[in-house]
Amino acid sequence: MTAVVTGAGRGIGLALAAAFAARGMAAVGTVRGEPPAVAGVEWARLDVAQPASIAAFAAGLGGRPVEILVCNAGIYPDRREWVERGYPAAMWAETFAVNVTGVFLTVQALLANLDAANRPRVGIIASQLGSSTRAAGGSYIYRASKAAVVNLGRNLAADLGPRGIAVGIYHPGWVRTGMGGPAADLDADVAAAGLLARLEALSPATAGRFETWDGETMPF
Ligand SMILES: NC(=O)c1ccc[n+]([C@@H]2O[C@H](COP(=O)([O-])OP(=O)(O)OC[C@H]3O[C@@H](n4cnc5c(N)ncnc54)[C@H](OP(=O)(O)O)[C@@H]3O)[C@@H](O)[C@H]2O)c1
């Protein structure tokens, strides 16, 4: 059983890859730079904002079946922007390339690997900041990208469900990582354990749901 986690060099992705390996799965973690020294994880290069990098990563997998693909890689560069003068176009483009387009292209590139697996599942790591019912203002780019990836996940669930690939969408909690900061609620390994439980429960019957790491329903 192989699980692939994008953006696994640190943060939630690293905790997820380590948790899959601890469960006895073949865990493939992707990195852009040097991989961390974590036992039991296979490391591969992947920049999800670069279509050629995605193609090379998929080619490296060959025909290997992938039971679980977690699209975790993400960026949040606009937390200190101001509506009057910030949010430059290049920041919109970069964020959507990673948080939205990168998710779609990664799933697309690994479809044959998912099709070859016994019980294929895709987990998309979104955010509660992408919930349009929780619009507190600010972080326009990150919020819009995460709202878009929730929508993407729901439509992928509709298209891929009939071929047996279940797609779930998750808010990982507020997690102590480079992105979440030191004041966040959860350790990455606690969030990862919850996300693993969600992915274990994910099936074509539950696909398309937007849930928190601990199983609560998130409003769209
Ligand atoms: N932490 C939270 O509280 C929180 C809350 C809600 C949602 N999330 C979501 O959870 C996911 C993981 O967040 P995190 O807190 O673990 O963030 P993080 O500590 O900042 O780690 C982000 C990861 O994404 C990778 N990444 C960034 N751009 C990439 C690209 N172009 N191609 C491939 N990998 C790339 C990074 O790789 P490098 O090391 O190479 O930069 C890193 O491994 C993100 O999607 C985030 O939006 C986090």
73 lines ligand 1 (CB under 6 A): yes
Q: What pTM does this model have?
A: 0.98
Tell me which of 72, 104, 143, 186 to substitute to probe ligand 1's pocket, judged by most ligand atoms within 8 Å of the beta carbon.
72
Question: From the alpha carbon of 188, which atom of ligand 1 is closest?
Answer: 16
Confidence of residue 108 (pLDDT cuts 50, 70, 90): very high
Per DSSP, the residues of 194-217 read HHHHHHHH--TTTTT-EEETTSPB
pLDDT of residue 166: 98
Mean pLDDT of the chain: 97
The residue-averaged pLDDT of 82-107 equals 98
pLDDT (mean) for 49-66? 98
Is 3 within 8 Å of 14 (Cβ atoms)?
A: no
With a 6 A CB cut-off, is 178 part of the ligand 1 pocket? Answer: yes
| Chain segment 95-104, per-residue pLDDT in tens | 999 999 999 9
User: Using a 6 Å cutoff on CB, does residue 169 contact ligand 1?
Assistant: no
* Domains within the chain, CATH numbers bracketed: 2-212 (3.40.50.720)
Average pLDDT over residues 156-171: 98
Ligand 1 atom 32, closest CA: 47
Q: What is the pLDDT confidence band of residue 6, given thresholds at 50, 70 and 90?
A: very high
Mean predicted confidence (pLDDT) in 117-130: 98
Tokens matching residue 159: 């298209």
Helix (H) or strand (E) holding 76: none
Note the pLDDT tens digit of each residue in 171-183: 999 999 999 999 9
